[in-house]
Every structure is written in structure tokens, then in C-alpha cells.
Amino acid sequence: MTENPLRVVIIDDEPLARESIRVLLSDDADVRVVGEGTGSDAVALIARTRPDLLFLDIQMPEVDGFAVIEQVGADTVPALIFVTAYDRYAVRAFEVHALDYLLKPFDDRRFAEALARAKERARARQRGEVDHRIAELLAEREVPRTRFLIPAREKTIVVDAAQIDWIEAADYYVTLHAGPAAHLLRQTMEEIEKQLDRRHFFRVHRSAIVNIDRVREIHPLFRGDCALVLTDGRRIKLSRSRRKDFEALFAQPRT
């Protein structure tokens, strides 16, 4: 007995990205695209079409992929293939939980491998098998810190994350620069980077993280590097290797 084609929905805020996935699926008799849309369309579209398989972009400006999963429900969301631009924390989480993802730009071979595994999971769900990995992934997501507590003599200083202009590495400490004040906190850059809202903070090189809402000007330097000028006039170097990711984030709407 021939199995019915798997019903597929594609969620991505970029029309060209959706088209690329749709074209790659067009010759596959095992699947049928029943809907596509942006993050803001996703929850209603999934409820209406009841797909077996979902291609889900993580980094969308209005409603990101994780928010879609949370609204649909980890136990009811269809088999998933995550689609993302480079995001090392998301990629690391996908790998830890053995979840399939496509890193933009992806090639046909990588797409075929991810699709084959996702088909198996979708058929398993149709047979009633339960996959707990999505729920585990959501449970481990860290909510960005909105404030930091800085120990000082006989008191604790509260620093709102939104007031931080930039962060500087200082051996096993970091310095939070907030207006004229500088606060020393015993954390590494890696530790504090994980706690920040990645829509607003970006690590421009090994020793500095900037609040991108404070960036006023971008000046090109030699060999692809740039200098970021903050609202207070401070210049901070943006390394060439991080420039593309910075420009992509800087261009996104932020709330």
C-alpha cells in the first residue's frame, strides 16, 4: 500500500528562501507543500493545514522560530527541519539534541540528508511515536537577562541590560560600560554573551560586545575591518570575520 505524501509547510520571512525550499521539494513524490508564510503567519497556518513536516526559519523579525514552536506546543508541532543563518548557540543546541537543521546557504546534498531524516520522523509520528527532543530544546533555552547585579562595597549595583553601551573583556572579568559608569563583573565574555539578548548585543571581536542600538556610524578600515562609532563617540573595531553577521543583524527590525 502506497503511503500518502507528507504534508509540508515552509515558514521563512524571505520569499526567495521559501521558493528555494519549494523548488527542492517539487520533484519529491513523498511530500506535498500545503502552505508557506512568515513567522506571523505560522501558528494559524499550521493549525489550518495540519502539516506532517515543517521547515522553520529561526531568525525572523516579527515572530522567531522558537516562539512559533512555543505557541504551537512542543508536543504537537510536526516533524521539524530548522533553517538558520549562522547562530552558533542555536546550532550547538540542535547538535546536542540531534535535531536536523539547514545552515543558510545550504547545498542539495545537505538538504536531501536533512529531508530524509525528517521524513522518517514524520512517519514515526504518524505511527504514534513521541519525540521529546523539541520539548527538551525549549526547556534549555536561556531567557536573556534584563539586569545585572554588580557587587560593590557594602551594596549591590543594579545595571539594566538596556543601559549597557558595550562590554569589554578584562582577563577573567568583564567591564560593563553604561554611560559614564564602568562596572566590573566576574564573568568571562563567553558566559555573559550567552545571557544577553542577541537581537541587541553583538560580539564584534574577541574582547568586545556592543549594544547595536548604540551604533551611530560604521567606518571601513583596512583589510575588511570596520570601526563602529557609538553614540558617545567611542570607536570599537569590528573584525572582518564578524562583519557579515553584524550587518545582517543590524539590518533586522528590533523590538
What is the CATH number for 63? 3.40.50.2300
Give CA–CA dist 92/76, Å, rounded. 24
pLDDT at site 87:
63
pLDDT at site 1:
41
pTM: 0.56
pLDDT bracket for residue 140 (50, 70, 90): low
The domain in which residue 44 lies consists of 6-140
* Shared-domain flag, residues 11 and 134: yes
87 CB-near residues (< 8 Å, 6+ apart): 58, 59, 198
- Residues facing residue 89 across a β-bridge: none
Compute the average pLDDT of residues 181-186: 92
Give CA–CA dist 255/10, Å, rounded. 24
CB 196 within 8 A of CB 189: no
**Residue scoring higher pLDDT (142 or 111):** 111
* Shared-domain flag, residues 128 and 13: yes
pLDDT at site 77:
84
* Shared-domain flag, residues 134 and 169: no
* Shared-domain flag, residues 136 and 42: yes
* Shared-domain flag, residues 152 and 194: yes
Compute the average pLDDT of residues 25-51: 92
Is 235 among the domain residues?
yes
Q: Which amino acid is residue 163, in one-letter code?
A: Q
State the DSSP string of 44-61: HHHHHH--SEEEEES--S
Give CA–CA dist 252/67, Å, rounded. 17
- The sign one gets for the Cα dihedral 155, 161, 162, 164 is positive
